[in-house]
């Protein structure tokens, strides 16, 4: 098969939207990382991502089952849920902002209080230590104890054991052993990103490896050799003047084992779903610009507060805004072409997706 964008589109969709499996296996198939976001419109991003890939998944299942799962909340290239294997590659890591001795003295007091409590809610730590308020990164006020807990979690000193009404509850983390081969660790984290987001245009591959500086800032000097090593060992080709990369064992142009079959199905994807996360790749594959507008002032929004990309077969042809009103799900769609496809199969597929989304949310469809 001749290398072209159509084959890359099929590859991108089929390899990411695999047959639904168990929750842990789905996270592993996604490289060991699922991005999280607190907005619920109509559900959180991690749930919207997992519902396509986990059999029988319902909104909130990840949070409900989290204490029993071999997963941890942590920051990778973004905040989310990671496997123990991936987390071990990142720690102990260097934070972007170094703490001075007075700050570390306060942090050590927090660690001691977490140890005393066993499982520590930020309010309990603050009540015991009385650290008072501090400005947070977006200009609001937080408790200093909460900021210290966040910083200690980022540095790998604390684990998240569960959430109480959305608030993280912590315990002490085990002591981390530094990876004996930093280059091997960077290569392994690169493989996670390629597994999750391939096929990748060259610019995106470079951007992702740069973002690994957030996962392992202690090895920033390895970014250039990591990129060079990735380009040397990954499969690649050039399509329309752009170099593309994917795992060496895959072949987007032969169809893979059994072929890259795409069902006649509509899927409403999270803004951070691996299929659409890379905006550079999105524009190359589907020919239009999708933007996440939740933090855009309402008068300037083009597609809506939390527009979900609308995938029909292997084409992202539009978007949908889903909301719950009066206990019922409402889904309003927009289309790049200005109208929906005229195929009868599309109308039925869209209605089936509405029903799946309503079932996932635990409510009746309109």
Q: What is the DSSP letter of 138?
A: T
Q: Give the pLDDT score at 253.
A: 87
pLDDT at res. 3: 84
**Is 84 among the domain residues?**
no
Q: Is residue 281 part of a domain?
A: yes
Domain for residue 93, yes or no? no
Distance CA 152, CA 160 (A): 11
* Res 161: pLDDT: 98
Return the bridge partners of 243, or none. Answer: 238
- Looking at 115, 139, 172, the residue that finishes a domain is 172
Spell out the residues 6+ positions from residue 232 whose beta carbon is closer than 8 angstroms to its own: none
Structure confidence by residue, pLDDT tens digits, 105-128: 999 999 999 999 999 999 999 999
- pLDDT score at 261: 79
Domain count, the chain: 2
Integer Cα distance of 67 and 163 in angstroms? 9
Last residue of a domain, one of 172, 187, 214: 172
Handedness of CA 294, 200, 242, 8 (dihedral sign): negative
| Domain assignment present for 89 | no
In a domain, 257, yes or no: no
Residues near 295 by Cβ (< 8 Å), separated by ≥ 6? none
From 128, 145, 172, give the residue that closes a domain: 172
Instruction: Collect the ranges in the chain with pLDDT lower than 50.
Output: 137-138, 256-258, 365-366
pLDDT at 140: 52
How far apart are alpha carbons 19 and 144 in whole angstroms? Answer: 45
Cα dist. 174→156, 167, 180, 241 in Å? 9, 22, 18, 48
Number of H helices, E strands in the chain: 13, 15
Does 314 reside within a domain?
A: yes
State residue 334 phi and psi, 5-degree precision.
Answer: -130, 155
What CATH number is given to the structural domain containing 122?
Answer: 1.10.10
CB-based contact 89:216 (threshold 8 Å): yes
The angle at the Cα of 245, spanning 240 to 247, to the nearest 5 degrees, equals 145
Cα 12 versus chain centre, distance: 16
Residue 55 belongs to some domain of the structure: no
Give the integer Cα–Cα distance in Å for 30 and 60. Answer: 19
- Does 112 reside within a domain? yes
Burial annotation 225-238 (CB, 10 A radius, 16+ → b, else e): ebbebbeeebbbee
Whole domain around residue 298: which residue ranges?
266-365
């Amino acid at each position: 098969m001749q290398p072209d964008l159509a084959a890359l589109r099929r590859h991108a969709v089929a390899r990411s939207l695999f047959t639904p499996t168990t929750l842990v296996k789905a996270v592993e198939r996604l490289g060991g990382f699922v991005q999280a976001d607190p907005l619920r419109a109509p559900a959180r991003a991690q749930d919207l991502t997992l519902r396509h890939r986990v059999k029988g998944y319902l909104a909130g299942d990840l949070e409900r089952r989290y204490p029993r799962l071999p997963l941890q909340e942590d920051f990778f290239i973004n905040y989310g849920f990671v496997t123990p294997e991936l987390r071990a590659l990142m720690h102990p890591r260097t934070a972007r902002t170094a703490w001075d001795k007075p700050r570390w003295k306060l942090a050590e007091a927090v660690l001691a209080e977490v140890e005393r409590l066993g499982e520590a809610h930020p309010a309990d730590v603050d009540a015991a230590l009385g650290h008072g308020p501090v400005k947070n990164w977006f200009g609001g006020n937080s408790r200093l104890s909460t900021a210290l807990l966040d910083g200690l979690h980022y540095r790998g000193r604390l684990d998240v054991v569960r959430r109480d009404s959305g608030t993280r509850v912590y315990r002490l983390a085990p002591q981390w052993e530094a990876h004996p081969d930093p280059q091997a660790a960077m290569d392994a984290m690169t493989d996670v990103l390629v597994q999750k987001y391939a096929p990748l245009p060259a610019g995106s591959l470079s951007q992702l490896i740069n973002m690994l500086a957030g996962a392992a800032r202690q090895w920033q000097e390895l970014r250039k050799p990591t990129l060079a090593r990735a380009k040397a060992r990954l499969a690649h080709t050039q399509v329309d003047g752009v170099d593309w990369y994917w795992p060496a064992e895959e072949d987007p142009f032969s169809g893979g084992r059994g072929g890259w079959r795409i069902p006649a199905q509509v899927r409403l994807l999270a803004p951070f779903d691996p299929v659409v996360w890379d905006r550079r790749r999105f524009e190359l594959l589907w020919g239009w610009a999708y933007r996440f507008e939740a933090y855009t002032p309402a008068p300037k929004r083009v597609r809506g507060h939390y527009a979900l990309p609308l995938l029909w077969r292997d084409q992202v042809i539009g978007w949908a805004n889903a909301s719950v009103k009066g206990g019922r799900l409402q889904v309003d769609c927009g289309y790049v072409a200005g109208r929906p496809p005229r195929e009868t199969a599309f109308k039925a597929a869209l209605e089936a997706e509405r029903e799946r989304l309503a079932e996932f949310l635990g409510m009746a469809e309109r």
